Chains A and B, each alone.
Chain A
Amino acid sequence: MAVELDDLTEAERKALAQCRHAVLGTERPLRLDCGVDLGPYRVAYQTYGTLNADKSNAVLICHALTLDQFVAEQHPVTGKEGWWESLVGPGKVIDPAHYFVICVNVLGGCMGTTGPLAREPASGAPWNLRFPVVTVGDMVRAQAALLDHLGIPDLFCVIGGSLGGMQVLEWAASYPARVFSAVPIACAARHSAQNIAFHEVGRQAIMADPDWRGGDYRLHQTAPARGLAVARMTAHITYLSEQALQRKFGRALQDRNALGFGFDADFQVESYLRYQGSSFVDRFDANSYLYITRAMDYFDLAGAHGGVLANAFRGTPTRYCLMSFTSDWLFPTRESREIVHALNAAAANVSFVEVESDKGHDAFLLEEPEMFRTLAGFLKGAGTVRGLKDVP
């Protein structure tokens, strides 16, 4: 089968060796929003815990732009701890002893799920930039197809931050009967002009790198590392807050006592960003970055429902808990509030908590006790209504 014949990248090989995967769309391809039928395609995913007898304890975690399915374990490529290990694991808020936790690498990703790195099944040629542009809706439909494949009728909870939060909203809007509860964190129902603008800077940096080669860098055995690093540096700034940068770095100098009167990394903040950029290129694919940022740009839940966000949630049976962070300027609180207004207009069961934090957008990935308490309380309340036993 064509998808099995992929010449996997080193990162994909390591990822797939450490997680599960399924080949889907062989009989019935996935109809993408752009009109292309995709199939077969591979979905790489990880699970923690076990599905209970009545299949009522499945929790789907949706990952953000550059994260992946390795939520709660050492990462096969970077060796770092799981990106939400503070939240998911034994004794944690999302304890695999109680929940069957699933996380799926998004469509278009580069940790084992089909994306621009794969080969087009029909021709056998690498997709690269010929890979169809995918949307958040496509990502979610691929996840739903995986649940069908796994025989999981519905999800106790879908949780995610940022792009993950967009997926949560898409899940609730597209599969209301399959989502018992939903926790969209630090996200928006549509990507703002400013956010699209930042993404465009990142994409242009990648495409301006001569090693990008129109997306065919692997054929030329190159990689647009400088472009991807600049993209990451730009994006990383948007994940932090002015206060956090000031607190962490101020104007402190890097390994020197005086200004260098040159363009080395004089300041600690420069050195930090350079490190963030250079370490990113070792674990992420440049074309994947183009595709996933595009999916976020295209996300507009109201637009897909006649311009009225509430229409996306009409009659929704799902219990919602939204969270935002005071210093997040990428997905500010007002974006979450707009979703809350729409959910109220649909008379949905909704909770909304704004967490006080100076850590910017990144706060959702960090130790934020208020977020943990909120999530624990919400899951407990939802679990009681769901009739989940043995949940603390």
Chain B
Amino acid sequence: MNAAIRVDLQLIADMVSPATRALDVGCGDGSLLAYLVDFKRVDARGMELSQAGVNACVANGLSVIQGDADADLRDYPDDAFDYVILSQTLQATREPREVLRQMLRVGKRAIVSFPNFAHWQVRLRLVFGGRMPETPSLPFKWYDTPNIHLCSIDDFRALCRDMGVRIERAIVLDRASRPINLPPLLANLLGEQAVFMLRRD
């Protein structure tokens, strides 16, 4: 059992109440899943796009299937989970709005983390560099990035308003993945990524 997980995953894990049911969409190597199972007795399931990732998770005793957020959330019945988690994946989905809708149909709550495209570094590189931004949280070239629907923290808040989704918690992280407590305008400038906990209103 390894208790150390990435800081943003730890933040998500802290939002999940013990002994609940959770679905981690885009669970990668399963480190968040394993943490939820081992330390919070969560009935945690995963969905992962890469077959290699799935196989590694299952070989570690985790319940994971191959699938993607756009296509496969539709299968699940309403309220199947207490939480549906989507970490650093929303920006790579074809229809982020529909994915969010499905997450909040399948889960009582949704936890979403994503890189902030309005971070000052991103702004600087585009405005003064004249090039598509490449940062630690957006490490791709424009032609090979999986991120097709990038947004800023304020964009995301606007979408939640538009969808009538209640934001229960919003945590903005700086470059060192430390939570920062700033008014929205500054948070949208200084936050490198954000973690939101949502529920249907």
5 contacts between A and B (CB under 8 A): A340-B67, A341-B75, A350-B63, A352-B66, A377-B59
> Is A381 positioned at the interface, with any CB of B under 8 Å from its CB?
yes
> Is A345 positioned at the interface, with any CB of B under 8 Å from its CB?
yes
Contact B58 A378 (CB under 8 A): yes
> Is A365 positioned at the interface, with any CB of B under 8 Å from its CB?
no
Bound form: Cα–Cα A353–B46 in Å = 12
A window 189-232: CB within 8 A of B: none
Enumerate the 3 nearest inter-chain pairs by beta-carbon distance, A residue then B residue, closest first: A381-B61, A377-B59, A344-B75
Contact A370 B55 (CB under 8 A): yes
> Is A349 positioned at the interface, with any CB of B under 8 Å from its CB?
yes
> Is A321 positioned at the interface, with any CB of B under 8 Å from its CB?
yes
A residues neighboring B (CB under 8 Å): 319, 321, 340-341, 344-347, 349-356, 370, 373-374, 376-378, 380-382, 384
Bound form: Cα–Cα A377–B58 in Å = 6
Bound form: Cα–Cα A356–B52 in Å = 10
| B72-85 Cβ-contact flags toward A at 8 Å (1 or 0) | 10011100110000
Contact B77 A351 (CB under 8 A): no
Distance of A355 from chain B, by nearest CB (Å)? 8
- Name which residue of chain A comes closest to B43, CB basis: A349
**Given A344-B72, A345-B75, A346-B77: A374 and B58 interface contact (C-beta under 8 Å):** yes
- Name which residue of chain B comes closest to A352, CB basis: B65
**Given A344-B72, A347-B77, A353-B54: A384 and B63 interface contact (C-beta under 8 Å):** no
Distance of A328 from chain B, by nearest CB (Å)? 15
Contact B63 A351 (CB under 8 A): yes
- Name which residue of chain B comes closest to A379, CB basis: B61
Distance of B35 from chain A, by nearest CB (Å)? 14
B window 36-56: CB within 8 A of A: 43, 45, 51, 54-55
Other-chain residue from B43, B60, B80 in contact with A377 (beta carbon distance below 8 A): B60
Other-chain residue from B45, B55, B61, B75 in contact with A384 (beta carbon distance below 8 A): B61
Contact B77 A321 (CB under 8 A): no
Other-chain residue from B60, B63, B76 in contact with A349 (beta carbon distance below 8 A): B63
> Is B62 positioned at the interface, with any CB of A under 8 Å from its CB?
yes
Contact A352 B59 (CB under 8 A): no
> Is B64 positioned at the interface, with any CB of A under 8 Å from its CB?
yes
Contact A350 B66 (CB under 8 A): no
Distance of A318 from chain B, by nearest CB (Å)? 12
- Name which residue of chain B comes closest to A333, CB basis: B66
**Given A353-B54, A353-B55, A374-B55: A381 and B76 interface contact (C-beta under 8 Å):** no
Q: Which B residues touch A350, using CB under 8 A?
A: 45, 63, 65
Bound form: Cα–Cα A345–B81 in Å = 12
- Name which residue of chain A comes closest to B79, CB basis: A347
Contact B43 A347 (CB under 8 A): no
Q: Which B residues touch A373, using CB under 8 A?
A: 55, 59
Distance of A291 from chain B, by nearest CB (Å)? 35
Bound form: Cα–Cα A341–B80 in Å = 14
Other-chain residue from A321, A347, A354 in contact with B76 (beta carbon distance below 8 A): A347
Contact B62 A347 (CB under 8 A): no
Q: Which A residues touch B51, using CB under 8 A?
A: 353-354, 356
Contact B61 A377 (CB under 8 A): yes
Q: Which A residues touch B76, using CB under 8 A?
A: 344-345, 347
Given A341-B72, A344-B76, A377-B60, 15 other A-B residues pairs in contact with their CB atoms under 8 A: A319-B63, A340-B65, A344-B72, A345-B77, A349-B43, A350-B63, A351-B58, A351-B63, A352-B54, A353-B54, A353-B58, A355-B55, A356-B51, A381-B62, A382-B61
Distance of B81 from chain A, by nearest CB (Å)? 8
- Name which residue of chain A comes closest to B47, CB basis: A344
Q: Which A residues touch B58, using CB under 8 A?
A: 321, 351, 353, 374, 377-378
Bound form: Cα–Cα A321–B45 in Å = 12
Bound form: Cα–Cα A109–B58 in Å = 34
Distance of A205 from chain B, by nearest CB (Å)? 38
Q: Which B residues touch A349, using CB under 8 A?
A: 43, 45, 63
Q: Which A residues touch B75, using CB under 8 A?
A: 341, 344-345
